[in-house]
Structure 1
Amino acid sequence: MSDPHFLLTNDDGIDGDGLAALRDELLDLGDVTVVAPADNQSGVGRKRSKYTTRREHEWGYAIGGTPADCVAYGLRGLDTEFDVVVSGCNHGPNMGAYVLGRSGTVGAAMEAAFLGTPALAVSAYHNVEFFTHPPEEYDFSTPARIACDLLADCLATDVFDRVDVLNVNAPCDAADPLLRITHTDGDFDVRVEHSHPDEVDDDIGFEVSDGEELVRLWDKFWPHVEGYANPLPDVDAVRERYPVGSDRRAVLDGEASVSPLSAPREPTHHEKLDAIVEQMNAR
């Protein structure tokens, strides 16, 4: 059997430290072609562009678009058959059902799955400081090694016959963390705040016209924190909120979370909905 060929991308940009660490590990498994965004594209989910640009890079190509653009181009624009798409290492964790929908790292993996190629998304976190920012101050070699060891074992079996995407969150400050199969947790909320532009210290990036009111949407990824907090405070206060087996609990416990995902939105069945449709058809 020939060596596998990997398409490597990310959402932090082709010069990202996490991508470089993951490429080094992947080269021990097979051939690697990098097709990654020319600049940071964090938080764009599966957004796609109608037009983009391509620039040659020593590792492959830099695309002037989103991670999903990179995957679409790599899988359909190159004369190469790829065995797996690998996305990461992201500079920070990607866990929870809501965050996975927003993540460019996971969005790239999902784009691959919808195009018929299995994918692995890997994100790094720090046990104490949580978010790995600025990335140049962190070592991404452990998350990259864990992801590639997992990938090698999966390729030796039929895991990808039934799993479209593996979403991995691994600590960068633990030599040999426990791996745990997890499900994505759905805990999420938003707080809305109305403000006058003069009352806001942030650069909001646009002008507020006369007659308009400024609205701030505060994401609550954790029950006790709004937005992003680094380090994440009072971890022990929320630990028990998340059951063992959830991706959030695994990260709070310093483990490497492995969430197997399917790309298609699985249909559900509800008898009351069946009855409503039958009644509407009978009118």
Structure 2
Amino acid sequence: MSDGYSILLTNDDGIDAPGIATLREELTALGEVTVVAPDENQSGVGRTRNHTAVVRDHPWGYRLVGTPADCVAYGLGGLDTEFDVVVSGVNDGPNAGNYVVGRSGTVGAGIEAAFLGTPALAVSAYHSTDFFLSPPEEYDFSRPARVATGLVERALDAGVYDEVDLLNVNAPVDSPNPPVILTEPYHEYGQQVERVEDDELGPDEHRVKLSDRTWPDAVGWENPFPVAERHRERYPVGSDRRAMVDASVSVSPLTVSHAVPDSARLADVVETFEVE
């Protein structure tokens, strides 16, 4: 790093969340930090984009009535600044596992940045026993913020982003000197569908409750860590889930190329398909 980096910072918990404040303070050691973050919580929106967004001035930059991806699009395309990297976080709660990563607003901001040609890092925080950080004001985000800052600097200096579009990082807030592990998102997902009584609906309609089962033995936002020993056996070393069970920092390199698999069977289907 010579004259410092130009950094665009966003999140999905909203500009008033404690995680982004801590991360901004740490990142200023690397260069100029411009914040463009959602006006309020936008968790779980993935890479959703809106056609219009209201932008308001903020002492750190801008607060935007929209999604994290909207914030990145505005920051990279609407400001007269050439950013070296986009950083998203620190998220209140982990983003680990292929399905969760796919719908995360924190990671979605990084994916948007990568599609727009800018390297990105998404960082999320977890507690080794509490799992989620709730309420977030009672937790210290400084360790995940330091981890993200160190990884951003080293990855840019080492040319990592010549090969990788996005780094997805999960870091514990409570583990002293946690090991840093190169990981990949674990592929696992399930859901539970329940019919819910609703007297206000008509005879030809009904309401259902759709509950994620992204961790075994846990539904929705339940803490899965009380059964950590079973998770340790379930998740292989090298997966982001296993790193979390072991109170480590997981670093998953991702690409957004939507690479096309080589399928001889699909080629045969297409070649022999006739439209009638």
3-state SS in 2 of match to 1:197: coil
Please, which runs of 5 or more residues in structure 2 have no aligned partner?
none
Note the C-alpha offset of 1:272.
Answer: 1.1
Aligned partner of 1:161 in structure 2 is: 162
Query: Of the candidates 209, 214, 218, which is equivalent to residue 211 of structure 2?
Result: 218
Task: Tell me whether 1:32 sits opposite 2:25 in the alignment.
Answer: no
Note the C-alpha offset of 1:213.
Answer: 1.1
CA distance in 1, matches of 2:222, 2:203: 33
Tell me if the contact between 1:128 and 1:231 (Cα under 8 Å) persists in the aligned partners.
no
CA distance in 1, matches of 2:146, 2:153: 10
3-state SS in 2 of match to 1:156: helix
Tell me if the contact between 2:218 and 2:224 (Cα under 8 Å) persists in the aligned partners.
no
Note the C-alpha offset of 1:108.
Answer: 0.3
Aligned partner of 1:125 in structure 2 is: 126
Tell me if the contact between 1:193 and 1:217 (Cα under 8 Å) persists in the aligned partners.
yes
Task: Tell me whether 1:230 sits opposite 2:223 in the alignment.
Answer: yes
CA distance in 1, matches of 2:149, 2:224: 27
CA distance in 1, matches of 2:166, 2:91: 16
Aligned partner of 2:139 in structure 1 is: 138
Note the C-alpha offset of 1:270.
Answer: 1.1
Note the C-alpha offset of 1:226.
Answer: 1.0
CA distance in 2, matches of 1:118, 1:147: 13
Query: Of the candidates 253, 263, 267, which is equivalent to residue 260 of structure 2?
Result: 267
3-state SS in 1 of match to 2:131: coil
- The one-letter amino acid of 1:124's match is A
Aligned partner of 1:240 in structure 2 is: 233
CA distance in 2, matches of 1:31, 1:281: 58
CA distance in 1, matches of 2:275, 2:16: 60
Aligned partner of 2:12 in structure 1 is: 11
Tell me if the contact between 1:138 and 1:172 (Cα under 8 Å) persists in the aligned partners.
yes
Scaled by the length of structure 2, what TM-score is found? 0.96
Could you report, residue by residue, the CA deviation over 1:79-125 in whole angstroms, capped at 9, with x for unpaired residues? 00000000000000001111111100000000000000010000000
Could you report, residue by residue, the CA deviation over 1:229-250 in whole angstroms, capped at 9, with x for unpaired residues? 1363311122211110000010
Tell me if the contact between 2:19 and 2:90 (Cα under 8 Å) persists in the aligned partners.
yes
Tell me if the contact between 1:83 and 1:118 (Cα under 8 Å) persists in the aligned partners.
yes
Please, which runs of 5 or more residues in structure 1 have no aligned partner?
199-206
CA distance in 1, matches of 2:178, 2:259: 32
Tell me if the contact between 1:94 and 1:123 (Cα under 8 Å) persists in the aligned partners.
yes
Task: Tell me whether 1:22 sits opposite 2:23 in the alignment.
Answer: yes
- The one-letter amino acid of 1:269's match is D
CA distance in 1, matches of 2:49, 2:88: 16
Note the C-alpha offset of 1:76.
Answer: 0.1
Aligned partner of 2:269 in structure 1 is: 276
Scaled by the length of structure 1, what TM-score is found? 0.94
Note the C-alpha offset of 1:277.
Answer: 1.4
- The one-letter amino acid of 1:78's match is L
Structure 1 residues 234, 30: closer, same or farther in 2, change over 3 A? same
CA distance in 1, matches of 2:37, 2:201: 35
